[in-house]
Structure 1
Amino acid sequence: MIREELARLTTETRNQRTMQIDRMSTGEILRLMNEEDQKVALSVKEVLPDIEKVVDWTVQALKRGGRIIYVGAGTSGRLGVLDAVECPPTFSTPPEMVVGLIAGGERAFVKAVEGAEDDPSLGEKDLRDIHLSPDDVVIGIAASGRTPYVIGALQYARKVGAKAVALTANKQARLSQFADLAIEVDVGPEVITGSTRLKAGTAHKMILNMISTTTMIRIGKVYENLMVDVSISNEKLKDRAIRIIQTVTQVDTETALRVLEQANHEVKTAIVMIKTESSYEKAKKRLDLADGNVRKAIEG
Protein backbone atom coordinates (compact mmCIF):
# COMPACT_ATOMS: atom_id res chain seq x y z
CA MET A 1 0.00 0.00 0.00
CA ILE A 2 2.67 2.53 1.08
CA ARG A 3 5.01 1.36 -1.69
CA GLU A 4 2.28 1.84 -4.32
CA GLU A 5 1.40 5.28 -2.94
CA LEU A 6 5.03 6.43 -2.99
CA ALA A 7 5.50 5.15 -6.54
CA ARG A 8 2.75 7.51 -7.74
CA LEU A 9 4.35 10.63 -6.25
CA THR A 10 6.12 13.08 -8.55
CA THR A 11 8.74 13.59 -5.84
CA GLU A 12 9.60 9.86 -6.07
CA THR A 13 9.78 9.76 -9.87
CA ARG A 14 13.18 9.39 -11.54
CA ASN A 15 14.41 12.43 -13.44
CA GLN A 16 15.28 11.33 -16.99
CA ARG A 17 17.79 14.17 -17.37
CA THR A 18 19.91 12.98 -14.44
CA MET A 19 20.04 9.23 -15.04
CA GLN A 20 23.78 9.45 -15.77
CA ILE A 21 24.63 12.06 -13.17
CA ASP A 22 27.12 9.75 -11.46
CA ARG A 23 29.20 9.80 -14.65
CA MET A 24 29.25 13.56 -15.05
CA SER A 25 32.02 15.98 -14.18
CA THR A 26 31.61 18.47 -11.35
CA GLY A 27 30.85 21.28 -13.77
CA GLU A 28 28.26 19.21 -15.63
CA ILE A 29 26.49 18.26 -12.38
CA LEU A 30 26.38 21.88 -11.24
CA ARG A 31 25.03 23.14 -14.57
CA LEU A 32 22.36 20.45 -14.60
CA MET A 33 21.29 21.23 -11.04
CA ASN A 34 21.15 24.93 -11.90
CA GLU A 35 18.98 24.22 -14.93
CA GLU A 36 16.59 22.17 -12.80
CA ASP A 37 16.49 24.86 -10.09
CA GLN A 38 15.42 27.44 -12.68
CA LYS A 39 12.13 25.56 -13.01
CA VAL A 40 11.27 26.17 -9.35
CA ALA A 41 10.23 29.83 -9.57
CA LEU A 42 8.01 29.11 -12.56
CA SER A 43 6.32 26.31 -10.63
CA VAL A 44 5.70 28.65 -7.71
CA LYS A 45 4.17 31.17 -10.13
CA GLU A 46 1.49 28.61 -10.97
CA VAL A 47 0.23 28.51 -7.37
CA LEU A 48 0.28 32.27 -6.64
CA PRO A 49 -3.56 32.45 -6.43
CA ASP A 50 -3.51 29.83 -3.66
CA ILE A 51 -0.70 31.62 -1.82
CA GLU A 52 -2.70 34.85 -2.04
CA LYS A 53 -5.69 33.23 -0.32
CA VAL A 54 -3.46 31.95 2.48
CA VAL A 55 -1.95 35.41 3.01
CA ASP A 56 -5.45 36.90 3.28
CA TRP A 57 -6.12 34.37 6.05
CA THR A 58 -2.84 35.01 7.86
CA VAL A 59 -3.34 38.79 7.79
CA GLN A 60 -6.82 38.40 9.25
CA ALA A 61 -5.50 35.97 11.86
CA LEU A 62 -2.76 38.28 13.11
CA LYS A 63 -5.10 41.27 13.22
CA ARG A 64 -7.46 39.39 15.53
CA GLY A 65 -4.65 38.16 17.77
CA GLY A 66 -4.13 34.77 16.16
CA ARG A 67 -0.94 33.10 15.00
CA ILE A 68 0.72 31.56 11.97
CA ILE A 69 1.76 28.03 12.89
CA TYR A 70 4.00 25.94 10.63
CA VAL A 71 3.98 22.16 11.13
CA GLY A 72 6.30 19.70 9.44
CA ALA A 73 8.79 16.85 9.77
CA GLY A 74 12.40 16.63 8.64
CA THR A 75 13.36 19.20 6.01
CA SER A 76 9.79 20.51 5.85
CA GLY A 77 9.72 21.08 9.59
CA ARG A 78 13.10 22.79 9.56
CA LEU A 79 11.95 25.18 6.82
CA GLY A 80 8.94 26.15 8.93
CA VAL A 81 11.03 26.69 12.04
CA LEU A 82 13.56 28.73 10.06
CA ASP A 83 10.89 31.06 8.69
CA ALA A 84 9.31 31.44 12.12
CA VAL A 85 12.50 32.30 14.01
CA GLU A 86 13.50 34.93 11.45
CA CYS A 87 10.32 36.98 12.00
CA PRO A 88 11.17 38.52 15.43
CA PRO A 89 14.56 40.00 14.42
CA THR A 90 13.27 41.13 11.01
CA PHE A 91 9.85 42.49 11.93
CA SER A 92 9.92 42.87 15.75
CA THR A 93 7.15 40.31 16.13
CA PRO A 94 6.69 38.54 19.46
CA PRO A 95 8.06 34.95 19.30
CA GLU A 96 4.57 33.51 19.70
CA MET A 97 3.14 35.29 16.63
CA VAL A 98 4.77 32.97 14.07
CA VAL A 99 5.48 29.48 15.40
CA GLY A 100 7.36 26.54 13.87
CA LEU A 101 6.65 22.99 15.06
CA ILE A 102 8.81 20.07 13.96
CA ALA A 103 8.12 16.39 14.56
CA GLY A 104 10.33 15.26 17.41
CA GLY A 105 10.63 18.70 18.97
CA GLU A 106 13.47 21.23 18.85
CA ARG A 107 16.18 18.56 19.02
CA ALA A 108 14.94 17.26 15.65
CA PHE A 109 16.11 20.48 14.01
CA VAL A 110 19.75 19.37 14.20
CA LYS A 111 19.37 15.59 14.43
CA ALA A 112 16.69 13.32 13.00
CA VAL A 113 14.30 11.77 15.53
CA GLU A 114 13.38 8.37 14.13
CA GLY A 115 9.67 7.60 13.87
CA ALA A 116 8.48 11.00 15.07
CA GLU A 117 6.80 11.81 11.77
CA ASP A 118 4.86 8.52 11.61
CA ASP A 119 2.42 9.25 14.45
CA PRO A 120 -0.52 11.56 13.64
CA SER A 121 -1.38 11.89 17.33
CA LEU A 122 1.93 13.72 17.91
CA GLY A 123 0.87 16.43 15.45
CA GLU A 124 -2.32 16.95 17.43
CA LYS A 125 -0.42 16.86 20.73
CA ASP A 126 2.03 19.55 19.65
CA LEU A 127 -0.84 21.86 18.68
CA ARG A 128 -2.65 21.13 21.94
CA ASP A 129 0.52 22.00 23.85
CA ILE A 130 0.55 25.52 22.37
CA HIS A 131 -3.21 25.91 22.91
CA LEU A 132 -4.34 26.09 19.29
CA SER A 133 -7.34 28.39 18.85
CA PRO A 134 -9.86 29.12 16.05
CA ASP A 135 -8.03 32.42 15.45
CA ASP A 136 -4.88 30.63 14.24
CA VAL A 137 -3.77 29.50 10.79
CA VAL A 138 -1.96 26.14 10.65
CA ILE A 139 0.23 25.51 7.61
CA GLY A 140 1.19 21.85 7.28
CA ILE A 141 4.33 21.35 5.20
CA ALA A 142 5.08 17.96 3.62
CA ALA A 143 6.83 17.58 0.28
CA SER A 144 5.39 14.08 -0.17
CA GLY A 145 1.96 15.21 0.97
CA ARG A 146 1.46 12.13 3.11
CA THR A 147 3.33 12.68 6.40
CA PRO A 148 1.16 11.30 9.27
CA TYR A 149 2.42 13.87 11.81
CA VAL A 150 1.29 16.72 9.56
CA ILE A 151 -2.01 15.02 8.70
CA GLY A 152 -2.78 14.66 12.42
CA ALA A 153 -2.01 18.36 12.93
CA LEU A 154 -4.32 19.50 10.13
CA GLN A 155 -7.11 17.19 11.30
CA TYR A 156 -6.92 18.74 14.75
CA ALA A 157 -6.74 22.27 13.34
CA ARG A 158 -10.02 21.77 11.49
CA LYS A 159 -11.59 20.20 14.55
CA VAL A 160 -10.70 23.30 16.59
CA GLY A 161 -11.86 25.65 13.85
CA ALA A 162 -8.47 27.05 12.87
CA LYS A 163 -7.68 27.47 9.17
CA ALA A 164 -5.79 24.43 7.87
CA VAL A 165 -3.41 24.81 4.90
CA ALA A 166 -1.51 22.02 3.14
CA LEU A 167 1.80 22.84 1.42
CA THR A 168 3.05 19.95 -0.70
CA ALA A 169 5.09 19.17 -3.82
CA ASN A 170 2.64 16.64 -5.28
CA LYS A 171 -0.67 17.14 -7.04
CA GLN A 172 -3.75 15.56 -5.44
CA ALA A 173 -1.74 14.89 -2.31
CA ARG A 174 -3.31 12.94 0.55
CA LEU A 175 -2.54 15.81 2.91
CA SER A 176 -4.71 18.13 0.82
CA GLN A 177 -7.80 16.14 1.80
CA PHE A 178 -7.40 17.36 5.38
CA ALA A 179 -6.95 21.05 4.52
CA ASP A 180 -9.23 24.01 3.92
CA LEU A 181 -6.86 25.03 1.14
CA ALA A 182 -3.94 23.25 -0.54
CA ILE A 183 -0.85 24.73 -2.17
CA GLU A 184 0.44 21.94 -4.40
CA VAL A 185 3.59 23.13 -6.14
CA ASP A 186 4.82 20.59 -8.69
CA VAL A 187 8.52 21.13 -9.42
CA GLY A 188 8.92 17.80 -11.23
CA PRO A 189 11.26 14.91 -10.36
CA GLU A 190 14.27 15.75 -8.21
CA VAL A 191 17.85 15.65 -9.47
CA ILE A 192 18.42 12.84 -6.98
CA THR A 193 15.29 10.71 -6.79
CA GLY A 194 13.25 11.44 -3.67
CA SER A 195 15.66 14.07 -2.29
CA THR A 196 13.01 16.72 -1.62
CA ARG A 197 15.48 18.99 0.19
CA LEU A 198 16.38 20.07 -3.36
CA LYS A 199 13.72 21.54 -5.71
CA ALA A 200 10.73 20.84 -3.46
CA GLY A 201 12.54 22.34 -0.47
CA THR A 202 13.54 25.39 -2.49
CA ALA A 203 9.97 25.91 -3.67
CA HIS A 204 8.61 25.60 -0.14
CA LYS A 205 11.22 28.02 1.21
CA MET A 206 10.17 30.54 -1.45
CA ILE A 207 6.49 30.12 -0.59
CA LEU A 208 7.06 30.47 3.16
CA ASN A 209 9.10 33.63 2.45
CA MET A 210 6.16 34.96 0.44
CA ILE A 211 3.58 34.14 3.10
CA SER A 212 5.42 35.64 6.08
CA THR A 213 6.89 38.65 4.27
CA THR A 214 3.68 39.65 2.49
CA THR A 215 1.74 39.21 5.72
CA MET A 216 4.14 41.51 7.56
CA ILE A 217 3.91 44.12 4.81
CA ARG A 218 0.12 43.99 4.98
CA ILE A 219 0.07 44.54 8.77
CA GLY A 220 2.36 47.58 8.56
CA LYS A 221 5.81 46.16 9.29
CA VAL A 222 7.29 47.71 6.13
CA TYR A 223 7.35 51.29 4.84
CA GLU A 224 8.23 51.69 1.16
CA ASN A 225 10.58 48.70 0.94
CA LEU A 226 12.28 49.23 4.29
CA MET A 227 12.17 47.10 7.46
CA VAL A 228 10.89 49.91 9.65
CA ASP A 229 9.90 47.57 12.47
CA VAL A 230 13.36 46.06 12.80
CA SER A 231 14.32 44.99 16.32
CA ILE A 232 17.51 46.69 17.49
CA SER A 233 19.26 43.85 19.27
CA ASN A 234 22.87 44.51 18.23
CA GLU A 235 25.13 47.21 16.77
CA LYS A 236 24.60 46.07 13.18
CA LEU A 237 20.84 46.44 13.52
CA LYS A 238 21.22 49.78 15.30
CA ASP A 239 23.29 51.06 12.38
CA ARG A 240 20.65 49.73 9.96
CA ALA A 241 17.92 51.50 11.95
CA ILE A 242 19.78 54.82 11.74
CA ARG A 243 20.29 54.39 8.00
CA ILE A 244 16.60 53.57 7.50
CA ILE A 245 15.58 56.72 9.37
CA GLN A 246 18.00 58.80 7.31
CA THR A 247 16.82 57.25 4.05
CA VAL A 248 13.18 58.07 4.77
CA THR A 249 13.60 61.48 6.39
CA GLN A 250 16.86 62.83 4.86
CA VAL A 251 18.16 63.93 8.30
CA ASP A 252 21.82 63.67 9.30
CA THR A 253 23.23 60.80 11.36
CA GLU A 254 23.28 62.78 14.61
CA THR A 255 19.62 63.74 14.30
CA ALA A 256 18.60 60.21 13.36
CA LEU A 257 20.37 58.78 16.41
CA ARG A 258 18.94 61.41 18.75
CA VAL A 259 15.35 60.90 17.62
CA LEU A 260 15.76 57.11 17.64
CA GLU A 261 16.75 57.31 21.31
CA GLN A 262 13.85 59.66 22.05
CA ALA A 263 11.57 57.10 20.38
CA ASN A 264 12.75 54.28 22.68
CA HIS A 265 14.61 52.71 19.75
CA GLU A 266 11.36 52.30 17.78
CA VAL A 267 12.22 53.03 14.15
CA LYS A 268 8.62 53.50 13.04
CA THR A 269 7.94 56.01 15.79
CA ALA A 270 11.16 57.90 15.07
CA ILE A 271 10.21 58.24 11.40
CA VAL A 272 6.73 59.52 12.21
CA MET A 273 8.18 61.97 14.77
CA ILE A 274 10.48 63.47 12.16
CA LYS A 275 8.09 63.42 9.21
CA THR A 276 5.22 64.99 11.19
CA GLU A 277 7.39 67.11 13.51
CA SER A 278 5.62 65.65 16.51
CA SER A 279 6.50 64.39 19.96
CA TYR A 280 6.95 60.75 20.86
CA GLU A 281 3.47 60.60 22.41
CA LYS A 282 1.76 62.17 19.40
CA ALA A 283 3.68 59.96 16.97
CA LYS A 284 2.65 56.87 18.93
CA LYS A 285 -0.96 57.99 18.85
CA ARG A 286 -0.78 58.51 15.08
CA LEU A 287 0.61 55.00 14.67
CA ASP A 288 -2.04 53.50 16.94
CA LEU A 289 -4.81 55.17 14.95
CA ALA A 290 -3.21 53.88 11.74
CA ASP A 291 -2.90 50.29 13.06
CA GLY A 292 0.89 50.61 12.95
CA ASN A 293 1.02 51.65 9.30
CA VAL A 294 3.74 54.28 8.88
CA ARG A 295 2.42 55.66 5.59
CA LYS A 296 -1.08 56.17 7.01
CA ALA A 297 0.34 57.66 10.21
CA ILE A 298 2.36 60.23 8.23
CA GLU A 299 -0.40 61.09 5.80
CA GLY A 300 -2.94 61.35 8.62
Structure 2
Amino acid sequence: MLNTETPSLQHPDLDLYDSARLMQALVDDQRAAVEAVRAAAPALAAAVDAALPRIAAGGRLLYAGAGTSGRLGVLDSVELVPTFSWPRERAVAVLAGGEGAMFVAVEGAEDDEHQGRRDIEVLQPGPDDVLIGIAASGHTPYVLGALAAGRTAACLTIGVANNPGAAVLAASEHPILLDTGNEIISGSTRLKAGTAQKIALNSFSSALMVRLNKVYGNLMVDMKATNAKLVRRAVALTMRAAGVDEATAREALGRCDFSVKTAVVMLLKQLDAPSALALLGRHDGSVRRALAGR
Protein backbone atom coordinates (compact mmCIF):
# COMPACT_ATOMS: atom_id res chain seq x y z
CA MET A 1 0.00 0.00 0.00
CA LEU A 2 1.23 3.52 -0.82
CA ASN A 3 2.49 5.57 2.10
CA THR A 4 -0.13 8.22 1.42
CA GLU A 5 -2.88 5.57 1.60
CA THR A 6 -1.67 3.69 4.68
CA PRO A 7 -3.87 4.35 7.73
CA SER A 8 -2.17 6.40 10.44
CA LEU A 9 -1.49 4.69 13.74
CA GLN A 10 -1.22 7.98 15.64
CA HIS A 11 -4.89 8.92 15.98
CA PRO A 12 -7.08 5.80 15.73
CA ASP A 13 -9.82 7.51 17.79
CA LEU A 14 -9.82 10.78 15.86
CA ASP A 15 -13.60 10.77 15.61
CA LEU A 16 -13.84 10.91 19.42
CA TYR A 17 -11.77 14.09 19.82
CA ASP A 18 -13.38 17.35 20.84
CA SER A 19 -12.82 20.33 18.54
CA ALA A 20 -9.79 21.70 20.40
CA ARG A 21 -7.93 18.38 20.40
CA LEU A 22 -9.00 17.65 16.83
CA MET A 23 -7.69 20.98 15.59
CA GLN A 24 -4.37 20.54 17.41
CA ALA A 25 -3.89 17.10 15.88
CA LEU A 26 -4.68 18.30 12.35
CA VAL A 27 -2.41 21.32 12.58
CA ASP A 28 0.47 19.40 14.16
CA ASP A 29 0.32 16.82 11.39
CA GLN A 30 1.03 19.53 8.82
CA ARG A 31 4.56 19.95 10.16
CA ALA A 32 5.59 16.92 8.13
CA ALA A 33 4.78 18.85 4.94
CA VAL A 34 7.48 21.44 5.65
CA GLU A 35 10.01 18.75 6.50
CA ALA A 36 9.24 16.87 3.29
CA VAL A 37 9.86 19.99 1.18
CA ARG A 38 13.04 20.73 3.15
CA ALA A 39 14.34 17.31 2.18
CA ALA A 40 13.42 17.99 -1.46
CA ALA A 41 15.06 21.46 -1.57
CA PRO A 42 18.23 20.28 -3.41
CA ALA A 43 16.12 18.56 -6.07
CA LEU A 44 13.95 21.67 -6.42
CA ALA A 45 17.04 23.87 -6.79
CA ALA A 46 18.39 21.59 -9.51
CA ALA A 47 15.05 21.80 -11.30
CA VAL A 48 15.17 25.62 -11.16
CA ASP A 49 18.67 25.62 -12.68
CA ALA A 50 17.55 23.28 -15.46
CA ALA A 51 14.38 25.26 -16.18
CA LEU A 52 15.99 28.71 -16.15
CA PRO A 53 17.66 28.73 -19.60
CA ARG A 54 14.56 27.29 -21.25
CA ILE A 55 12.20 29.82 -19.68
CA ALA A 56 14.66 32.65 -20.36
CA ALA A 57 14.63 31.57 -24.01
CA GLY A 58 10.85 32.09 -24.16
CA GLY A 59 9.56 28.75 -22.93
CA ARG A 60 6.41 28.17 -20.94
CA LEU A 61 5.62 26.63 -17.58
CA LEU A 62 3.10 23.83 -18.13
CA TYR A 63 1.36 22.06 -15.26
CA ALA A 64 -0.58 18.79 -15.31
CA GLY A 65 -2.47 17.15 -12.48
CA ALA A 66 -5.75 15.72 -11.20
CA GLY A 67 -7.88 16.56 -8.19
CA THR A 68 -6.12 18.51 -5.45
CA SER A 69 -2.76 18.20 -7.21
CA GLY A 70 -4.17 19.57 -10.44
CA ARG A 71 -5.93 22.44 -8.70
CA LEU A 72 -2.68 23.41 -7.01
CA GLY A 73 -1.03 23.50 -10.44
CA VAL A 74 -3.78 25.80 -11.71
CA LEU A 75 -3.34 28.02 -8.65
CA ASP A 76 0.41 28.33 -9.16
CA SER A 77 0.00 29.20 -12.83
CA VAL A 78 -2.67 31.83 -12.19
CA GLU A 79 -0.82 33.59 -9.37
CA LEU A 80 2.31 34.21 -11.45
CA VAL A 81 0.47 36.78 -13.57
CA PRO A 82 -0.29 39.48 -10.95
CA THR A 83 2.68 38.66 -8.72
CA PHE A 84 5.42 38.81 -11.33
CA SER A 85 3.72 40.24 -14.46
CA TRP A 86 4.27 36.83 -16.02
CA PRO A 87 2.45 36.49 -19.37
CA ARG A 88 -0.68 34.42 -18.92
CA GLU A 89 0.05 32.39 -22.04
CA ARG A 90 3.40 31.31 -20.59
CA ALA A 91 1.92 29.62 -17.49
CA VAL A 92 -0.64 27.05 -18.58
CA ALA A 93 -2.22 24.35 -16.44
CA VAL A 94 -4.22 21.33 -17.59
CA LEU A 95 -6.51 19.54 -15.17
CA ALA A 96 -8.01 16.08 -15.47
CA GLY A 97 -11.69 16.60 -16.26
CA GLY A 98 -11.16 20.02 -17.80
CA GLU A 99 -11.72 23.50 -16.39
CA GLY A 100 -14.95 22.46 -14.68
CA ALA A 101 -13.00 20.06 -12.48
CA MET A 102 -11.53 23.09 -10.72
CA PHE A 103 -14.89 23.49 -8.97
CA VAL A 104 -16.61 20.09 -9.19
CA ALA A 105 -14.82 16.75 -8.84
CA VAL A 106 -14.89 14.77 -12.09
CA GLU A 107 -14.61 11.17 -10.99
CA GLY A 108 -12.60 8.88 -13.23
CA ALA A 109 -10.94 11.67 -15.21
CA GLU A 110 -7.60 11.01 -13.52
CA ASP A 111 -7.56 7.46 -14.93
CA ASP A 112 -7.51 8.64 -18.56
CA GLU A 113 -3.86 8.49 -19.63
CA HIS A 114 -4.69 9.25 -23.26
CA GLN A 115 -6.51 12.45 -22.29
CA GLY A 116 -3.49 13.60 -20.31
CA ARG A 117 -1.36 13.13 -23.39
CA ARG A 118 -3.89 14.90 -25.61
CA ASP A 119 -4.30 17.86 -23.24
CA ILE A 120 -0.56 18.54 -23.45
CA GLU A 121 -0.29 17.86 -27.18
CA VAL A 122 -2.96 20.46 -27.94
CA LEU A 123 -0.67 23.06 -26.34
CA GLN A 124 1.97 22.24 -28.98
CA PRO A 125 4.82 21.91 -26.48
CA GLY A 126 8.43 22.42 -27.50
CA PRO A 127 11.96 22.03 -26.17
CA ASP A 128 11.93 25.37 -24.34
CA ASP A 129 8.85 24.42 -22.32
CA VAL A 130 8.95 23.04 -18.77
CA LEU A 131 6.26 20.53 -17.83
CA ILE A 132 5.47 19.87 -14.17
CA GLY A 133 3.45 16.71 -13.52
CA ILE A 134 1.88 16.62 -10.03
CA ALA A 135 0.37 13.55 -8.37
CA ALA A 136 0.22 12.73 -4.67
CA SER A 137 0.08 8.99 -5.34
CA GLY A 138 2.67 9.33 -8.07
CA HIS A 139 0.81 6.85 -10.27
CA THR A 140 -2.02 8.96 -11.75
CA PRO A 141 -2.52 7.84 -15.39
CA TYR A 142 -3.58 11.33 -16.55
CA VAL A 143 -0.31 12.81 -15.29
CA LEU A 144 1.76 9.97 -16.74
CA GLY A 145 0.15 10.62 -20.13
CA ALA A 146 0.94 14.32 -19.87
CA LEU A 147 4.57 13.59 -18.98
CA ALA A 148 4.87 11.18 -21.90
CA ALA A 149 3.66 13.91 -24.27
CA GLY A 150 6.15 16.32 -22.74
CA ARG A 151 9.05 13.92 -23.21
CA THR A 152 8.06 13.30 -26.83
CA ALA A 153 8.16 17.07 -27.42
CA ALA A 154 11.57 17.36 -25.68
CA CYS A 155 10.16 19.46 -22.81
CA LEU A 156 12.03 19.54 -19.55
CA THR A 157 9.94 17.28 -17.31
CA ILE A 158 9.57 17.69 -13.55
CA GLY A 159 7.59 15.17 -11.53
CA VAL A 160 6.15 15.93 -8.08
CA ALA A 161 4.88 13.00 -6.01
CA ASN A 162 4.43 12.03 -2.37
CA ASN A 163 5.42 8.37 -2.52
CA PRO A 164 8.92 6.89 -3.00
CA GLY A 165 9.35 4.82 -6.14
CA ALA A 166 6.39 6.51 -7.86
CA ALA A 167 5.94 6.17 -11.62
CA VAL A 168 5.65 9.96 -11.99
CA LEU A 169 9.12 10.34 -10.50
CA ALA A 170 10.58 7.68 -12.80
CA ALA A 171 8.95 9.36 -15.80
CA SER A 172 10.59 12.74 -15.09
CA GLU A 173 14.03 14.18 -15.67
CA HIS A 174 13.77 16.01 -12.37
CA PRO A 175 11.88 13.92 -9.80
CA ILE A 176 10.72 15.82 -6.70
CA LEU A 177 9.80 13.41 -3.89
CA LEU A 178 7.73 14.98 -1.11
CA ASP A 179 7.66 12.07 1.31
CA THR A 180 4.87 13.19 3.65
CA GLY A 181 3.90 9.67 4.74
CA ASN A 182 0.40 8.69 5.78
CA GLU A 183 -2.38 11.15 6.44
CA ILE A 184 -4.12 11.76 9.76
CA ILE A 185 -7.39 11.11 7.90
CA SER A 186 -6.39 8.02 5.95
CA GLY A 187 -5.83 8.67 2.26
CA SER A 188 -6.93 12.32 2.29
CA THR A 189 -4.03 13.78 0.31
CA ARG A 190 -5.67 17.21 0.36
CA LEU A 191 -4.07 17.42 3.81
CA LYS A 192 -0.28 17.42 4.30
CA ALA A 193 0.49 15.90 0.90
CA GLY A 194 -1.33 18.83 -0.69
CA THR A 195 0.35 21.31 1.64
CA ALA A 196 3.78 19.99 0.65
CA GLN A 197 2.87 20.28 -3.03
CA LYS A 198 1.74 23.88 -2.55
CA ILE A 199 4.99 24.78 -0.79
CA ALA A 200 7.10 23.03 -3.43
CA LEU A 201 5.31 24.59 -6.41
CA ASN A 202 5.32 28.03 -4.81
CA SER A 203 9.02 27.76 -3.97
CA PHE A 204 9.97 26.48 -7.41
CA SER A 205 8.11 29.14 -9.39
CA SER A 206 9.10 31.96 -7.01
CA ALA A 207 12.78 30.96 -7.20
CA LEU A 208 12.53 30.88 -10.97
CA MET A 209 11.02 34.37 -11.03
CA VAL A 210 13.78 35.70 -8.76
CA ARG A 211 16.38 34.25 -11.13
CA LEU A 212 14.53 35.95 -14.03
CA ASN A 213 15.05 39.37 -12.39
CA LYS A 214 11.47 39.80 -11.22
CA VAL A 215 12.68 40.75 -7.72
CA TYR A 216 15.02 43.50 -6.49
CA GLY A 217 16.52 42.63 -3.13
CA ASN A 218 13.51 40.91 -1.64
CA LEU A 219 11.01 43.34 -3.17
CA MET A 220 8.35 42.27 -5.68
CA VAL A 221 9.15 44.96 -8.24
CA ASP A 222 7.58 43.36 -11.33
CA MET A 223 3.99 43.08 -10.06
CA LYS A 224 0.87 44.25 -11.87
CA ALA A 225 -1.03 47.04 -10.09
CA THR A 226 -4.48 45.86 -11.19
CA ASN A 227 -6.58 46.97 -8.21
CA ALA A 228 -6.55 49.53 -5.41
CA LYS A 229 -4.71 47.24 -3.00
CA LEU A 230 -2.00 46.50 -5.56
CA VAL A 231 -1.67 50.19 -6.44
CA ARG A 232 -0.97 50.90 -2.77
CA ARG A 233 1.53 48.04 -2.76
CA ALA A 234 3.29 49.43 -5.84
CA VAL A 235 3.59 52.81 -4.17
CA ALA A 236 4.96 51.30 -0.96
CA LEU A 237 7.49 49.17 -2.86
CA THR A 238 8.68 52.17 -4.87
CA MET A 239 9.03 54.28 -1.74
CA ARG A 240 11.09 51.59 -0.05
CA ALA A 241 13.31 50.72 -3.00
CA ALA A 242 13.99 54.29 -4.07
CA GLY A 243 13.93 55.94 -0.64
CA VAL A 244 11.35 58.56 -1.65
CA ASP A 245 8.11 59.88 -0.19
CA GLU A 246 4.65 58.81 -1.32
CA ALA A 247 4.01 61.78 -3.59
CA THR A 248 7.30 61.27 -5.43
CA ALA A 249 6.65 57.55 -5.81
CA ARG A 250 3.14 58.09 -7.16
CA GLU A 251 4.34 60.74 -9.61
CA ALA A 252 7.05 58.45 -10.99
CA LEU A 253 4.71 55.47 -11.21
CA GLY A 254 2.18 57.58 -13.07
CA ARG A 255 4.77 58.25 -15.77
CA CYS A 256 5.57 54.57 -16.37
CA ASP A 257 2.21 52.78 -16.26
CA PHE A 258 2.79 51.87 -12.59
CA SER A 259 5.81 49.68 -13.33
CA VAL A 260 7.66 49.53 -10.02
CA LYS A 261 11.01 48.48 -11.45
CA THR A 262 10.88 51.24 -14.06
CA ALA A 263 9.94 53.85 -11.45
CA VAL A 264 12.81 52.77 -9.18
CA VAL A 265 15.36 53.11 -11.99
CA MET A 266 13.85 56.46 -13.04
CA LEU A 267 14.17 57.84 -9.54
CA LEU A 268 17.58 56.47 -8.62
CA LYS A 269 19.21 57.17 -12.00
CA GLN A 270 17.35 60.45 -12.63
CA LEU A 271 15.99 59.22 -15.98
CA ASP A 272 12.74 59.59 -17.86
CA ALA A 273 10.53 56.53 -18.34
CA PRO A 274 11.73 55.57 -21.87
CA SER A 275 15.38 55.84 -20.84
CA ALA A 276 14.78 53.76 -17.70
CA LEU A 277 12.98 51.11 -19.75
CA ALA A 278 15.83 51.01 -22.25
CA LEU A 279 18.38 50.68 -19.45
CA LEU A 280 16.44 47.80 -17.91
CA GLY A 281 16.23 46.18 -21.34
CA ARG A 282 20.01 46.29 -21.72
CA HIS A 283 20.33 44.46 -18.41
CA ASP A 284 17.69 41.73 -18.91
CA GLY A 285 15.22 43.52 -16.66
CA SER A 286 17.53 43.44 -13.62
CA VAL A 287 17.03 46.51 -11.44
CA ARG A 288 20.27 45.85 -9.60
CA ARG A 289 22.36 45.64 -12.78
CA ALA A 290 20.56 48.61 -14.34
CA LEU A 291 21.38 50.77 -11.32
CA ALA A 292 25.03 49.75 -11.51
CA GLY A 293 25.30 50.08 -15.29
CA ARG A 294 24.69 52.45 -18.14
Q: Deviations over 1:85-128 (max 9, x none)?
A: 01111111110122211111111000012221111111111111
Q: How many angstroms apart in 2 are the aligned matches of 1:39 and 1:178?
A: 25
Could you tell me which runs of 5 or more consecutive residues in structure 1 were left unpaired when the two chains were aligned.
1-6
Percent of residue pairs bearing the same amino acid type:
42
The residue aligned with 1:264 is: 257
The residue aligned with 2:56 is: 63
Q: What does 1:94-243 align with in structure 2 at a 5 Å threshold?
A: 94-243=87-236
The residue aligned with 2:85 is: 92
- Which secondary structure state, in structure 2, belongs to the residue aligned with residue 193 of structure 1? coil
CA RMSD of aligned residues (A): 1.0
The answer to whether the 8 A contact 2:139-2:167 is kept is yes
Q: How many angstroms apart in 1 are the aligned matches of 2:45 and 2:82?
A: 24
The answer to whether the 8 A contact 2:67-2:96 is kept is yes
The answer to whether the 8 A contact 1:57-1:137 is kept is no
Which of residues 6, 20, 29 is equivalent to 2:13?
A: 20
TM-score (norm 2): 0.97
Aligned-pair CA distance for 1:286: 1.2
Q: How many angstroms apart in 2 are the aligned matches of 1:243 and 1:174?
A: 46
- Which secondary structure state, in structure 1, belongs to the residue aligned with residue 58 of structure 2? coil
Q: How many angstroms apart in 2 are the aligned matches of 1:188 and 1:285?
A: 51
Q: Deviations over 1:108-156 (max 9, x none)?
A: 0000122211111111111111111111111100000010000001111
Q: Deviations over 1:64-103 (max 9, x none)?
A: 1001111000000000000110111111111012221111
The residue aligned with 1:286 is: 279
Q: Which moved more, 1:192-201 or 1:108-117?
A: 108-117
Could you tell me which runs of 5 or more consecutive residues in structure 2 were left unpaired when the two chains were aligned.
none
Q: How many angstroms apart in 2 are the aligned matches of 1:170 and 1:183?
A: 10
- Which secondary structure state, in structure 1, belongs to the residue aligned with residue 160 of structure 2? strand
Q: How many angstroms apart in 2 are the aligned matches of 1:226 and 1:89?
A: 14
The answer to whether the 8 A contact 2:51-2:156 is kept is no
Aligned-pair CA distance for 1:58: 2.5
Amino acid at match of 2:101: A
TM-score (norm 1): 0.95
- Which secondary structure state, in structure 2, belongs to the residue aligned with residue 201 of structure 1? helix
Q: How many angstroms apart in 2 are the aligned matches of 1:234 and 1:77?
A: 28
Runs of 4+ in 1 over 2 A off after TM superposition: none
Amino acid at match of 1:63: A
